[in-house]
Amino acid sequence: MTQDSRRDGSRIRTGIAGEFLVAGELSKRGWIATLTAKNTPHVDVLAARPSGDVHARIQVKTRSSAYPYAHRVGKRFSMDGERDFVILVDLGEESDVARYWIIAADEANRLITNQQLRTKDIAEYENRWELLG
């Protein structure tokens, strides 16, 4: 196994960990949340209130502790509907509690600078689960 393939595997595991953590946090807060199939473009988690009157499509971006100043997101998010959200996850170190930023996708697009969302620009969205509705 090459160093690049190990790094790619680690990046995939980091992303999957973030998706499961988001689904778990949503479930803890009374949502029904499910991870999508990997062939679902731009949506990692689908969530709905048990009453069925509120739903959300969520793209998850997860980082490890290696780069604490920003979340690298690449290009703009292609989803930007009223019920589309981006949830950024910082896994931190192994013994740390994960941190979350909940941002409407259109707002996240406005905040992207140099293909990243800077931690200082998104501070007001940390743990803002209520934004989901």
* CATH code for the domain of 34: 3.40.1350.10
Query: How many structural domains are present in the chain?
Result: 1
* DSSP string for residues in 99-111: EEEEEEHHHHHHH
- Predicted confidence at residue 68, as pLDDT, reads 79
CA 107 from centre of chain: 14
* pLDDT the model gives residue 92: 87
Q: What is the average pLDDT across 6-24?
A: 84
pLDDT at 2 over 80: no
Where would I find the beta strands (DSSP E) of 1-133?
32-35, 45-48, 55-63, 70-72, 84-90, 99-104, 116-118
**pLDDT by residue (tens digit) across 58-105?**
999 998 777 778 999 988 888 878 999 999 999 988 899 999 999 999
Distance in angstroms (rounded) separating the CA atoms of residues 75 and 73: 6
pLDDT at 3: 45
Place of tokens 């969530």: 47
Per-residue pLDDT band for 53 (boundaries 50, 70, 90) equals very high
Whether residue 55 contacts residue 46, with contact meaning beta carbons closer than 8 Å, is answered with yes
- Can you tell me the distance from the alpha carbon of 27 to that of 117, in angstroms, rounded to the nearest whole number? 26
* Domain, as residue range, for 101: 3-132
